[in-house]
Amino acid sequence: MKYWFYILITIWVCGACVPSPEHVQKVDKAAPIYPDYADVTIPVNIAPLNFLLRDDALSVYVYIDNVVFYAGRGNEVTFDMEDWKAMLAKNVGKSVEVKVVAKYADGWKEYRSFRWKVVADEVDPYLTYRLIEPDYEVFNNLVLQERCVENFDVRNFSDYGMVGNRCMNCHTYASQDPSTSMFYLRGEDGGAILNVDGKLKKLELKREDMVSGSVYFGFSPSARYVVFSTNVIIPAFHAQGSKRMEVFDTKSDVYVADLTDSRFIDSPLLADSTQLETFPTFSPDGKHIYYCTAHVLDSLGGLTSLKYSLCRVAFDEENGTIGTEVDTVYNAKMMGKSVCHPRVSPDGQYLVYTVANYGTFPIWHREADLQLMNLQTGEINLMEEVNSSMSDTYHSWSSNSRWLAFASKRDDGLYGKVYYTYINKKGVCSKPFALPQAHPSFYDDCLKSFNAPEQGKGRLPFSITDVHQVLSASPTKFQ
Amino acid sequence: MRFDNKTHSVRKLLKPMLILLWGVGCFLFFQMKYPYHFFYQEQNQLFLLDENYVLSYFDKPAWVACLVGDFLTQFYYYLYAGPAILTTVLLLLGDLVRRSLDRCFSYSVHKTLVSWGSFVLALVLMTLEARLSLYEAYRLSGIVALTGGVALWLLHDGLCDKIPYWWMRTLTLFLSSSLAFWMFGCGYLALFLLEMLRILLPTFRLRRRYWAIIPLLLVALLPNLLLPKVSEHYCLGKKVTLLYPGERKWVDESAAMMLERNFAYDNEYYFGHYEKVVQMYESNTEPETEEMCFFYCLSLAQLNLLPDRLMTMERPILGTFYKIGPETPLYTIKMINELYYLLGDMTYAERAALLANTFSPNGRNVRMVKRLVEVNLVKDDIPAAMKYLRLLSKTWVYRQWASDHTPGTMSEKVKAEIAYKQKYLNQSDHIRVGDDCYTILTQLLDSNPDNIVALDFLLCSDIVARQKKVFLRDYQQYGPRNKALYQQALTLE
């Protein structure tokens, strides 16, 4: 018996040991790692960038600055959390060399090394997003999740299992602050769910003369006001090519809701029936409302010429009044592109928006890219280091204005994933990296898109049960 | 004496023989009368041999039951495997139930009566579960959950025999119940029921040992104590959490058999047995359904016989008048996927496949994932195809299929199929609101006048809808097509 025990222990120990690299052949090509974490800038507080080798590697060694940092069997690399945190803390402000050496049936290979630049500017520790099948046309089993990006903790804060199989979308913080945020639960007994210090309240952000309930929205800096759009949305389908689906508005207007006095504030400039106004957002000083606008579509045939300009109108937070003059920030006619999802950085320096060839739904537009505008100089950065040949959209800023999270379909053109890019004070962007996951094969197995990512400074102070309970509450009506 | 021995031997063999008979009967019933339901269930999931995927089973209750059930369900793909697996699991459940009941009634002096009683009760339960399995959405994991609950009770009871203190037995019961709840979901109820029988029966009979009910009450309280937190943890309603994983439903037998016939047509078409579908339809004596007619039409189109036999049908269902929306049944969405793939409109085929995948249990349907591979290969969208091929390459059953479809290792047969389909792709882009099949068909024909399948569906739809003028216009624009049906229609005009 004892004899067998020792044999088993020996087999187990031998099985667990990773063979040391020997007769390593240097190959002049990039390591086939997925997600692509080569030459990226990362924040000091990010979770380990676990990856896999897209081939039949038997064992992998990862060296950081020529010191073994990881050794393991198989083609997946999952770093130890404590080692990772220590490595980041030690190398903050520096660039480290990462070398991948892998064993194959025909021997060891050392790939061309790459670098990780660790910066002291922290990314906001939390991220919320919706997980949805990439079709977007109909929904089933939706969840809204909150992920701590400093580790791999994730929780559903709204889940179909608890609130019924209803549509839910767009969780947005007020100034990245988890104590005030809002999202929608659609359907019967639904509404806009407002979180103030963990207390949930259901709002009915709709008036009879509005074309629909609220759709896209943003908070003012004081969180007293919410600017939102109402949209009549039509889905359509392409006959050919990669775009697959097209969604356009036949009507849309913008309004402001005063959350303190439960009243709507409107302006003919933002609710013009001959114009489509959408994607409203406040500037971080609360003095302007940025939004996108285009002429109402005459016919479906004109869809490819539907191009939205980016405009702004003044707003007075003290009196709750909308200005009387509209500035055009990005002229669609002149630029030949259509703008959507404008978001100003919290420091007020930059404005990032998505441009596509036409329309208002860039998710299936492969040409859809992010652009960065310097609000002081008006200079536009095309963000070539950041954009891909697939759709790059739905971005959100970190509270320190240095990190931009956005959804990109760059891997397969179908499933959106969250990417982070670093933007320094001079507006220079770095190559983005995918939100790291505990299991490197997570994205391969996942059949959901990460939609509308939003960065938050802390954990949301409410639970899934609170969301379930607020459904039965009476909504606050607005005048 | 010899006679007695013989009688004894016969008695000894009676139970195994009855079980054998039941097993053979069960297997034969499902194999002969109900085989296509197994294919349907197998297609309604996507089981990956992947650590990350397996760990995802912890996200929901009854992880052992679901893991075992889904693992076994993937083998339903193979002929005879579905009925064989189901029968085996039912036999295992029956055997464990029989043993458990034997233990529950062990205080009784009527050993033979108890033994036969347990045996018959086990047979009844097996038959009941077999009957419940007629419901197409009843997963194998539901039966595994019950089996697991009963097995855990047997373990617990065996342990209790060796434990002298009542408080330790109570603790064991509490632990086994919690384990049963965690690993087997609704299997917890089986454990509770057996424990109730074991404790209550001797208690009432002997009119003493009332204290023995205390642990039982404690365990009965377990769901009430844990359920709110557990349901929040799993993000499920309390009722769903308690009854996880199996939704049991007593379906009407004739409706189930009708569905089985639909599945037969659907799957034979899916396997490429078009002649068999035609033969099944033409020799059918049972009432026909829309689905049967639809797959008959699709098979006729595959065999280039649609216009020849269209008018032999009482009610031709071409599928061209179907529309997809949030209320469309899953089965119809899958049918539309087959229609558009056959016609050559890859946008709508992909849309239907994505929707069918979305509305399948756990948002995964292996048949639709395969279709998404095909659609994207036809569109030459290799990154998208690779997304799904990577998933399929992690399955036991479809690994080879994935290899045959992966660029670089693609088989010659697949290359030819893809190239054939690519010939009929839309050549120009249009934006279509809704799924008006007439527009879709005319756009396909504008792109490729040689798309005979699309032409037949267009002209046959005109005829079925009795739109003579439209037929004439379409025939003039996209014809000619030398088929008697069309010549007749032209003559009528």
pLDDT exceeds cutoff 70 at B212: no
Residues A136, A268: one domain? Answer: yes
**Domain presence at residue B428:** no
Q: In the structure, what pLDDT confidence band is assigned to residue B2 with cuts at 50, 70 and 90?
A: low
d(CA B453, CA B313): 18
Q: In the structure, what pLDDT confidence band is assigned to residue B43 with cuts at 50, 70 and 90?
A: very high
Instruction: Report CB contact under 8 Å: B347, A238.
Output: yes
Nearest to A236 among B51, B325, B431 (CB): B431
User: Nearest CA to A150 among A444, A423, A438?
Assistant: A438
**Domain presence at residue B248:** no
A237 touches chain B (CB under 8 A): yes
Q: For the segment A58-68, what is each residue's pLDDT rounded down to a tens digit?
A: 999 999 999 99
Q: Which helix (H) or strand (E) holds B453?
A: helix B452-464
**Domain presence at residue B386:** yes
pLDDT exceeds cutoff 90 at B93: yes
Instruction: Report CB contact under 8 Å: A240, B429.
Output: yes
Residues A90, A147: one domain? Answer: no
Mutate to test the interface with A, among B234, B328, B347, B348 (most CBs of A within 10 A): B347
Mind telling me how many Å the CA of A56 is from chain B's nearest CA?
13
Nearest to B232 among A444, A448, A464 (CB): A464
Q: Which of B422, B440, B468 is the last residue of a domain?
A: B422
Q: For the segment B233-267, what is each residue's pLDDT rounded down to a tens digit?
A: 888 888 888 888 877 889 999 999 999 999 999 99
CB contacts of B354 in chain A (<8 Å) are 133-135
Q: In the structure, what pLDDT confidence band is assigned to residue B205 with cuts at 50, 70 and 90?
A: low
Instruction: Report CB contact under 8 Å: B387, A414.
Output: yes
**Domain presence at residue A1:** no
Q: For the segment A91-104, what is each residue's pLDDT rounded down to a tens digit?
A: 999 999 999 999 99
- Residue A113: which domain range? 31-119
Instruction: Report CB contact under 8 Å: B53, A245.
Output: no
Residues A239, A96: one domain? Answer: no
Mutate to test the interface with A, among B57, B231, B233, B235 (most CBs of A within 10 A): B235
Mind telling me how many Å the CA of A237 is from chain B's nearest CA?
5
Q: In the structure, what pLDDT confidence band is assigned to residue B231 with cuts at 50, 70 and 90?
A: confident
pLDDT exceeds cutoff 90 at B391: yes
Instruction: Report CB contact under 8 Å: A234, B426.
Output: no
Rounded average pLDDT over B103-107: 81
Residues B230, B257: one domain? Answer: no
Residues B190, B300: one domain? Answer: no
**Domain presence at residue B432:** no
d(CA B322, CA B333): 9
What pLDDT is recorded for position A426?
93
d(CA B219, CA B160): 15
Residues A100, A218: one domain? Answer: no
Nearest to B350 among A244, A442, A463 (CB): A244
d(CA A392, CA A413): 10
Residues B234, B361: one domain? Answer: no
A137 touches chain B (CB under 8 A): yes
Q: Which two tokens stand for residue A80?
A: 């130890």
What pLDDT is recorded for position A2?
54
* Average per-residue pLDDT for chain A: 92
Mutate to test the interface with B, among A34, A53, A138, A297 (most CBs of B within 10 A): A138
Q: Which of A72, A95, A119 is the last residue of a domain?
A: A119
Q: Which of A68, A85, A119 is the last residue of a domain?
A: A119
CB contacts of B428 in chain A (<8 Å) are 239-240
Q: For the segment B305-329, what is each residue's pLDDT rounded down to a tens digit?
A: 999 999 999 888 998 888 877 678 8
Residues B108, B84: one domain? Answer: yes
Q: Which of A119, A138, A167 is the last residue of a domain?
A: A119
Nearest to B363 among A159, A300, A447 (CB): A447
Among A94-98, A213-217, B325-329, B431-435, the range of highest mean pLDDT: A94-98
Mutate to test the interface with A, among B369, B387, B390 (most CBs of A within 10 A): B387
Q: Which two tokens stand for residue B320?
A: 């061209």
DSSP 3-state of B481: coil
Residues A251, A389: one domain? Answer: yes
**Domain presence at residue B440:** no
Rounded average pLDDT over A222-245: 87
**Domain presence at residue A3:** no
Q: In the structure, what pLDDT confidence band is assigned to residue B47 with cuts at 50, 70 and 90?
A: very high
Q: Which of B185, B213, B243 is the last residue of a domain?
A: B243
CB contacts of B245 in chain A (<8 Å) are none
**Domain presence at residue A11:** no
What pLDDT is recorded for position A235?
85
Residues A76, A174: one domain? Answer: no
- Residue B476: which domain range? 449-492
Sheet holding A403-408, edge to edge: A392-397, A403-408, A417-422, A433-434
Instruction: Report CB contact under 8 Å: A445, B53.
Output: yes
Mind telling me how many Å the CA of B365 is from chain A's nearest CA?
11
The three-state DSSP-derived secondary structure of chain A is CHHHHHHHHHHHHHHHCCCCCCCCEEEEEECCEECCCCCEEEECCCCCCCEEECCCCCEEEEEECCEEEEEEECCEECCCHHHHHHHHHHCCCCEEEEEEEEEECCEEEEEECEEEEEECCCCCCEEEEEEECCCCCCCCCCEEEEEECCCCCEEEEEEHHHHCCCCEEEEEEECCEEEEEEEEECCCCCEEEEEECCEEEEEECCCCCCCCCEEEEEECCCCCEEEEEEEEEEEEEECCCCCCEEEEEEEEEEEEEECCCCEEECCCCCCCCCEEEEEEEECCCCCEEEEEEEECCCCHHHHHHCCCEEEEEEEECCCCEEEEEEEEEECHHHHCCEEEEEEECCCCCEEEEEEECCCCCHHHCCCCEEEEEECCCCCEECCCCCCCCCCEEEEEECCCCCEEEEEECCCCCCCCEEEEEEECCCCCECCCEECCCCCCCHHHHCCCEEEEEEEECCCCCCCHHHHHHHCCCCCEECC
Mutate to test the interface with A, among B46, B49, B52 (most CBs of A within 10 A): B52
**Domain presence at residue B307:** yes
Residues A263, A367: one domain? Answer: yes
Q: In the structure, what pLDDT confidence band is assigned to residue B457 with cuts at 50, 70 and 90?
A: very high
Instruction: Report CB contact under 8 Å: B351, A244.
Output: yes
Mind telling me how many Å the CA of B162 is from chain A's nearest CA?
26
Rounded average pLDDT over A362-385: 94
Among A162-171, A267-276, B197-206, the range of highest mean pLDDT: A267-276
Instruction: Report CB contact under 8 Å: B357, A133.
Output: yes
A305 touches chain B (CB under 8 A): no
pLDDT exceeds cutoff 80 at B206: no
What pLDDT is recorded for position A9?
61
**Chain A / chain B CB contacts < 8 angstroms:** 119
User: Looking at residue A52, which CATH number applies to its domain?
Assistant: 2.60.40.10
CB contacts of B394 in chain A (<8 Å) are 445
A234 touches chain B (CB under 8 A): yes
Residues B206, B311: one domain? Answer: no
Residues B143, B208: one domain? Answer: yes
Residues B307, B404: one domain? Answer: yes
Rounded average pLDDT over B460-468: 91
What pLDDT is recorded for position A15?
56
CB contacts of B432 in chain A (<8 Å) are 236-239
Residues B346, B262: one domain? Answer: yes
Instruction: Report CB contact under 8 Å: B432, A237.
Output: yes
What pLDDT is recorded for position A139?
76
What pLDDT is recorded for position B226?
77
A207 touches chain B (CB under 8 A): no
pLDDT exceeds cutoff 80 at A333: yes
Instruction: Report CB contact under 8 Å: B432, A412.
Output: no
Nearest to B235 among A140, A161, A235 (CB): A161
Comparing alpha-carbon positions, the chain A residue that sits nearest to B236 is A161
Residues B173, B35: one domain? Answer: yes
* Average per-residue pLDDT for chain B: 89
Least confident span in A209-223, A392-406, A455-469, B5-19: B5-19
Residues A351, A420: one domain? Answer: yes
| Number of domains comprising chain A | 2
Residues A68, A176: one domain? Answer: no
Interface of A with B in 404-463 (CB under 8 A): 411-415, 439, 441-442, 444-445, 447-448, 463
| Number of domains comprising chain B | 3
CB contacts of B443 in chain A (<8 Å) are 239
d(CA B67, CA B362): 13
What pLDDT is recorded for position B490?
85
Percent of chain B topping pLDDT 90: 60
Instruction: Report CB contact under 8 Å: B50, A464.
Output: no
User: Nearest CA to B359 among B333, B322, B388, B391?
Assistant: B333
Residues B258, B220: one domain? Answer: no
If one compares A301 and A283, the residue with the highest pLDDT of the two is: A283
What pLDDT is recorded for position B11?
73
User: Looking at residue A322, which CATH number applies to its domain?
Assistant: 2.120.10.30
Interface of A with B in 244-273 (CB under 8 A): 244-246
Instruction: Report CB contact under 8 Å: A240, B428.
Output: yes
d(CA B420, CA B162): 71
**Domain presence at residue B443:** no
Rounded average pLDDT over B73-97: 97
What pLDDT is recorded for position B223?
62
Q: Which two tokens stand for residue A50?
A: 């676990």
Residues B224, B292: one domain? Answer: no
List phi, psi (to 5°) of A306.
Answer: -80, 105
Residues A311, A167: one domain? Answer: yes
Residues B124, B239: one domain? Answer: yes
What pLDDT is recorded for position B314?
86
What is the per-residue DSSP string for B84-151? HHHHHHHHHHHHHHHHHHHHHTTT-S-HHHHHHHHHHHHHHHHHHHHHHTTSTT--HHHHHHHHHHHH
Least confident span in A106-120, B73-87, B344-358: B344-358
Q: In the structure, what pLDDT confidence band is assigned to residue B224 with cuts at 50, 70 and 90?
A: low
What pLDDT is recorded for position A80?
97
Mutate to test the interface with B, among A73, A157, A244, A443 (most CBs of B within 10 A): A244
Residues A110, A207: one domain? Answer: no
Q: For the segment A7-47, what is each residue's pLDDT rounded down to a tens digit?
A: 666 555 555 577 889 899 999 999 999 999 999 999 999 99
Mind telling me how many Å the CA of A439 is from chain B's nearest CA?
6
**Domain presence at residue B290:** yes
Residues A329, A286: one domain? Answer: yes
If one compares B449 and B166, the residue with the highest pLDDT of the two is: B449
Q: For the segment A263-287, what is each residue's pLDDT rounded down to a tens digit?
A: 999 999 999 999 999 999 999 999 9
**Domain presence at residue A172:** yes
